[in-house]
Amino acid sequence: MTRKLFGTDGVRGTANTWPMTADMALRIGAAAGRYFRNDGSNGHRVVIGKDTRLSGYMFENALTAGLTSTGMNVLLLGPVPTPAVGLLTTSMRADVGIMISASHNPHQDNGIKFFGPDGFKLSDEAEAEIEALLDGPIEPAKANNIGRAKRIDDGRFRYAERVKSTFPHGMRLDGLKVVIDCANGAAYKVAPEVLWELGATVIPVGNTPNGFNINDGCGSTNTRTAAETVVSHGADLGICLDGDADRVMILDENGEVADGDQIMALMAARWAAQDRLHGGTLVATVMSNLGLEQFLAGRGLRLERTAVGDRYVVEAMRRGGWNLGGEQSGHIVMTDFATTGDGLLAGLQFLAAMIETGQPASALVRQFDTVPQLLRNVRYQAGAQPLTAPAVAQAIAAGEARLNGAGRLLIRKSGTEPLIRVMAECADEGLLVQVVEDIVAAVEQAA
């Protein structure tokens, strides 16, 4: 069964434009309700969280209407990080969790992503079955079986306590000055609170959301403001989250950035030394730098690569029994603690490493030398299929021939935006640029 509506991370698009309309959200809610309330009883629950986008109000109400119309009881969490939805879906014994967010995308976009009763993101198969229900009539519940909706006021506090419990017992952040960039998103309250409660001097950035400024000049995709704040305040560390706080970038005391690959390298090496890294394996996507793979191999560890998307990382981790994985973009998944990527949790683990080693962030953020990597994104119009164009196929084949085993080439469609991502790695930077630019030019022409 194929999926057309769902991408690599739920349904996503521009608000009030198909498929992200109120009408479609209501139908998706009703389809999900029909799927999960499969025994007709009235005891089924769904928890709904959201980030700070203006359109979140609209989608929250539409989903609630669709779900309750099929007899589901809805628990509304308000603005909370995506990992909080995974956690609370399980702890509140819900059948399904829903996060309303477009993650790192700008405010005009929004998305709907699902978690199963185990707190993990729904499989492709389950999403396909929900999508199939949209093609037919949704059976509404009888009038006396309509679901109820209830607002849960302490969701973020429950999440905060869980995150703090992952920090080493008895350890405190006293004496450390931490810049936390919340991307004007879902963690704008909880992230500064957690750091302060653990003893840090907290300097918040991007913590004044207004519905339009999520990820705008801040967060994990734009670390400049946070880096300047780290340097100007003499901070020990910067933690930059994205709009739904499931990914992170770390800044050292000089404002230098460590991406997900460097964070995973640090954690894998430390966990392996502590005999905590299951199977001696780290799971990451095809986008992770070749330098990470070489770093792990030098320590007798292995890298298991997956398709792009943290859901595929988690699926591989669960199949293999591995407990650490993530993406270069900053999703860090630690299944000992959480069911999905958690930027705040990863930031706390980095802080714990600083305290335990007695080293500054600058000594920890650069675990390996990266192989030169170049990524270019080419936007295309809806309906276009640039990767099927013969000229693009020829450019890709020529690029692979020029690299001739000396590097890696990866061309793929984004699962969340209308973009073709062209990525290559090669020690020869001149050749790297030529190969990528030739392919980009062909894709642009076809798009």
Residues 38 and 94 in one domain: yes
Residues 179 and 198 in one domain: yes
In a domain, 368, yes or no: no
> Do residues 246 and 83 touch, judged by C-beta distance below 8 A?
yes
Residues 16 and 136 in one domain: yes
Beta sheet of 96-100, edge-to-edge order: 11-14, 109-115, 96-100, 45-50, 73-79, 149-151
In a domain, 336, yes or no: yes
For residue 370, count other CB atoms closer than 10 A to its CB: 16
Residues 281 and 231 in one domain: no
Q: What are the start-end ranges of the H helices in 321-389? A: 343-357
For residue 382, count other CB atoms closer than 10 A to its CB: 8
Residues 35 and 142 in one domain: yes
Q: Which of 316, 334, 363 is the last residue of a domain?
A: 363
Residues 320 and 426 in one domain: no
pLDDT of 1 reads 56
In a domain, 179, yes or no: yes
Give the containing element (helix H, strand E) for 325. strand 324-326
Q: Could you give the CA distance from residue 430 to residue 423 in angstroms, rounded to a whole number?
A: 14
CA pseudo-torsion sign 292, 216, 86, 62: negative
Residues 108 and 224 in one domain: no
Q: Which two tokens stand for residue 216?
A: 């705008």
Q: What is the DSSP letter of 17?
A: B
Give the containing element (helix H, strand E) for 238. strand 237-241
In a domain, 145, yes or no: yes
Residues 39 and 105 in one domain: yes
Q: Which pairs with CB-CB distance under 8 Å and at least 24 residues apart come from 312-318? A: 312/8, 312/285, 313/283, 313/284, 313/285, 314/120, 314/121, 314/339, 314/340, 315/123, 316/283, 317/283, 318/120
Helix (H, G, I), strand (E, B) or coil at 437: helix
Helix (H, G, I), strand (E, B) or coil at 28: helix
Number of domains the chain is built from: 4
CATH number at residue 381: 3.30.310.50
Residues 32 and 125 in one domain: yes
Residues 67 and 182 in one domain: no
pLDDT in tens, the chain (447 residues): 566 788 878 999 999 999 999 999 999 999 999 999 988 788 899 999 999 999 999 999 999 999 999 999 999 999 999 999 999 999 999 999 999 999 999 999 999 999 999 999 998 899 999 999 998 888 899 999 999 999 999 999 999 999 999 999 999 999 999 999 999 999 999 999 999 999 999 999 999 999 999 999 999 999 999 999 999 999 999 999 999 999 999 999 999 999 999 999 999 999 999 999 999 999 999 999 999 999 999 999 999 999 988 999 999 999 999 999 999 999 999 999 999 999 999 999 999 999 999 999 999 999 999 999 899 999 998 778 899 999 999 999 999 999 987 788 999 888 777 899 999 999 899 999 999 999 999 999 888
Q: Which of 340, 363, 386 is the last residue of a domain?
A: 363
Boundaries of domain holding 429: 373-446
Residues 265 and 247 in one domain: no
For residue 127, count other CB atoms closer than 10 A to its CB: 23
In a domain, 49, yes or no: yes
Q: Does 41 participate in catalysis according to the annotation?
A: no
CATH number at residue 103: 3.40.120.10
In a domain, 58, yes or no: yes
Residues 29 and 126 in one domain: yes
In a domain, 243, yes or no: yes
Q: Which of 103, 134, 153 is the last residue of a domain?
A: 153
**Exactly one of 69, 103, 220, 288 is catalytic; which is it?**
103
